[in-house]
Amino acid sequence: MFKFSCRWIATASVLCILGCAHQVTPPVPAQPILPVPENTPIALDINVFSSYLSEQGMAACQADLPQSYQCKNDGIPAGDFLNALSSLALFENLSPSVSRHDYELLIGNQLTQPEDSSNAHSPRKSVTEFSVEWRGVSIDTFSVEYWHQNQGAVSPSDVSQVILTWWKHVENAKVFSTPYLYAAMGASDYNAQLHLPETLDAFSLSQRYLYPDPFRGVIARYTHPEFEEAILDIAVYPMLSALTQPSDVSVKAELKKAVDTANEVAKARAMAVTMQQLFTPVESAFLPNAGVMAEMFAESETGESLFASIYVFQIEDKFVKFSTTFPARISDRLVQAAFPHLQVPPESALMKEIRRALK
């Protein structure tokens, strides 16, 4: 079963019946031979579906074709593309015709076909569109025009070259990179607009990680030069709701989620949890609304022990969550020290659109 863009079906049928109505066949261009790229497969799982060409793609197929040719939908069978994708091993995992992953690749193509059998062995042109979607939202479309010169046949190497031509665009545009996804979705630009302190007392910012999901945002980790197990994380991510309920209600609900997750982790490690603080208000002169915090202590029967202090605040339309591996008597002042140097991105176009739909 394949996913089809049904709005193109009627148009495609009419155009293919009418054929490609130009009289002069243009010179066949030389086709460059592209090598299989290095650094593949990329660490990405993707769904693959067959689709129809857009109107622009169908027009490209018809361009400069003689009267005796027409453009045929799926002139290159979907199975040939799947076989070539598998052989090239560009992705870590392919899911043909099944929606298992966030990313989807839709492939539509038309192939010129002579109506006169005397032209059966002449070169044929294909137009293939590769559309990349993330959770059903289109983030990139690229078209490949290719001339097949193997006596009118489409060889497996031809199909591989069509895919590699698209892949060259993917590499140049960094289509499957996280920054590209955020920009295409209209999400917040955390790289440019999130400002964090470089140091918090003896702790230094060691890394920032942008999640490959615009709804999870970014996490920054601070480490201590002497104590490897002393970690402070700052996570910044959008609130996935309309901004109508009071801030204290929102931050308490988010803190509860974090505490529940910590309890599950402790349970999986056979550790007993002692809740030392829960929903304790935390105020700052740099914030319009108070946040809340929780402090936990977990211990196993073998003597292994863990501290966790979690703080949640609302700034703009973002949750800002601090998580530390040490007691609140230490983390309280570090959290307070962060606010003068912390600035989050404004509400993104993506979240504005989602919140309009939630009203």
Give 212-262 pLDDT, tens digit per residue. Answer: 999 999 999 999 999 999 999 999 999 999 999 999 999 999 999 999 999
Q: How far apart are CA 305 and CA 277, in angstroms?
A: 17
Coil vs helix vs strand at 344: coil
Residue 279 CB coordination number (10 Å)? 14
Largest CA distance in the chain: 87
Asked if residue 209 lies in contact with residue 189, where contact means CB atoms within 8 angstroms, the answer is no
**Confidence (pLDDT) at 150:** 77
**Confidence (pLDDT) at 25:** 52
**Confidence (pLDDT) at 161:** 97
Could you tell me how far CA 239 lies from the centroid of its own chain?
A: 18
From the list 169, 219, 161, the residue with the least C-alpha distance to 190 is 219
**What domains does the chain contain, in order, with CATH numbers?**
6-176 (3.30.160), 188-358 (3.40.1000.10)
3-state DSSP percent of the chain in helix, strand and coil, to 5: 30, 35, 35
Q: How far apart are CA 174 and CA 167, in angstroms?
A: 10
HSE value, Cβ hemisphere, 13 Å, CA-based, for 63: 11
Asked if residue 143 lies in contact with residue 56, where contact means CB atoms within 8 angstroms, the answer is yes
Q: Which residues of the chain fall short of a pLDDT of 50?
A: 1-24
Polymer length of the chain:
359
Q: What is the pTM for the complete model shown?
A: 0.87
Give the model confidence (pLDDT) of 66-111 as tens digits.
877 899 999 999 999 999 999 999 999 999 988 899 999 999 999 9
**Confidence (pLDDT) at 68:** 78
Residues 6+ apart with CB under 8 A from 309: 293, 294, 295, 296, 322, 323, 324, 326, 327, 328, 331, 332
**Confidence (pLDDT) at 98:** 87
111 exposed, middle or buried (CB, 10 Å; 0-12, 13-18, 19+)? buried
Sign of CA dihedral 222, 225, 226, 228: positive
Asked if residue 312 lies in contact with residue 295, where contact means CB atoms within 8 angstroms, the answer is no
Q: How far apart are CA 306 and CA 304, in angstroms?
A: 7
